[in-house]
């Protein structure tokens, strides 16, 4: 894993956006794997600014998101589909039909997982953007998720629900489960860019860089992939030797 240290959140966002823009310029029909959460928000803002200023087009790009809460429809302000529309899709020239997010309101969730996994495998992600949870989760793959996992339904860890409660009125409102691409689904991507910013992520990065590769710490699976770049700021890297 290549580690790129940057000063702060802004620099991380700038650099991550550059990776994505470069990918889209090189291959206008790229497939981008996208994440939600606080970490990639700045990157998406940079992509929007670049599209406005330099006319970068996403007309042929397809995107596939990592995860979605079970039970939240696309018009629920905390759903990940809604997040993607508000923070990126509505502001660039991407076609809605080319943006994939799991359907958290699917009648048959197992079938939704199977179809989504088929999509991941057939579409071939060129560049996957990832954030990391304080417990090392990637997507919603919580500690203990097997590395060979495909898209599945997951019960969210209390620490994850607590961390995500900042977007809801109360922690009770945070859904108890989600659909997530599995670890093996994520590892299918040709290239992965993992982002981390701030002191809250310092323990996770220390474990990622210095710890064992084991399912107790899901992000450690990324060490099995040949083309991963970690872009992290000094605060997040503070405990990395």
Show the binding pattern over residues 89-128: x = contacts ligand F6R (CB under 6 A), - = does not.
Answer: ----------------------------------------
**Token pair listed for 47:** 């992509």
Give percent helix, percent strand, percent coil of the chain, each to the nearest 5.
40, 20, 40
26 versus 169: smaller Cβ distance to ligand F6R: 169
38 versus 74: smaller Cβ distance to ligand F6R: 38
Residue 137 designated active-site = yes
138 contacts ligand F6R (rule: CB under 6 A): yes
Residue 14 designated active-site = no
139 contacts ligand F6R (rule: CB under 6 A): yes
Residue 173 designated active-site = no
Q: Shortest distance, CB of residue 55 to ligand F6R, whole angstroms?
A: 28
Q: Shortest distance, CB of residue 88 to ligand F6R, whole angstroms?
A: 13
Mapped to the 3 state alphabet, what secondary structure does the chain carry? CEEEEECCHHHHHHHHHHHHHHHHHHCCCCEEEECCCCCCHHHHHHHHHHHHHHCCCCCCCEEEECEEECCCCCCCCCCHHHHHHHHCHHHCCCCHHHEECCCCCCCCHHHHHHHHHHHHHHHCCCEEEECCCCCCCECCECCCCCCCCCCEEEECCHHHHHHHHHHCCCHHHCCCEEEECCHHHHHCCCEEEEEECCHHHHHHHHHHHHCCCCCCCHHHHHHHCCCEEEEEECCCCCCCC
Q: Shortest distance, CB of residue 130 to ligand F6R, whole angstroms?
A: 6
**Token pair listed for 102:** 């799991």
138 versus 202: smaller Cβ distance to ligand F6R: 138
35 contacts ligand F6R (rule: CB under 6 A): yes
Which of 65, 87, 135, 164 does the annotation list as catalytic? 135
Among residues 47, 62, 67, 186, the one that binds ligand F6R under rule CB under 6 A: 67
133 contacts ligand F6R (rule: CB under 6 A): yes
Q: Which stretch binds ligand F6R (CB under 6 A): 37-45, 90-98, 151-159, 215-223?
A: 37-45
The residues of the shown chain that bind ligand F6R, judged by CB under 6 A, are: 35-39, 66-67, 131-133, 137-139
> Would you name the residues annotated as active-site residues?
67, 135, 137, 142
């Amino acid at each position: 894993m290549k580690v790129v240290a940057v000063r702060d959140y802004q620099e991380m966002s700038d650099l991550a956006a550059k990776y994505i823009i470069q990918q889209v310029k090189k291959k206008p029909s790229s497939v981008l794997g996208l994440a939600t959460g606080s970490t990639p928000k700045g990157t998406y803002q940079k992509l929007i600014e670049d599209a406005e200023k330099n006319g970068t087009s996403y007309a042929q790009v397809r995107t596939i998101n990592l995860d979605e809460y079970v039970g939240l429809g696309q018009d629920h302000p905390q759903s990940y589909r809604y997040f993607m529309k508000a923070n990126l899709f509505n502001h660039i020239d991407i076609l809605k039909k080319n943006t994939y997010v799991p359907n958290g309101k699917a009648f048959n969730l197992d079938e939704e997982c199977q179809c989504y996994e088929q999509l991941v495998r057939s579409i071939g992600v060129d560049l996957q953007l990832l954030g990391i949870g304080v417990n090392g989760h990637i997507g919603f793959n919580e500690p203990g998720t097997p590395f060979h996992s495909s898209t599945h339904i997951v019960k969210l860890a209390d620490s994850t629900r607590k961390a995500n409660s900042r977007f809801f009125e109360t922690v009770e409102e945070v859904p108890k489960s989600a659909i997530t691409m599995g670890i093996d689904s994520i590892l299918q991507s040709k290239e992965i860019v993992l982002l981390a910013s701030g002191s809250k992520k310092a323990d996770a990065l220390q474990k990622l860089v210095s710890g064992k590769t084991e399912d107790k710490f899901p992000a450690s699976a990324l060490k099995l992939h040949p083309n991963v770049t970690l872009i992290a700021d000094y605060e997040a890297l503070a405990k990395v030797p």
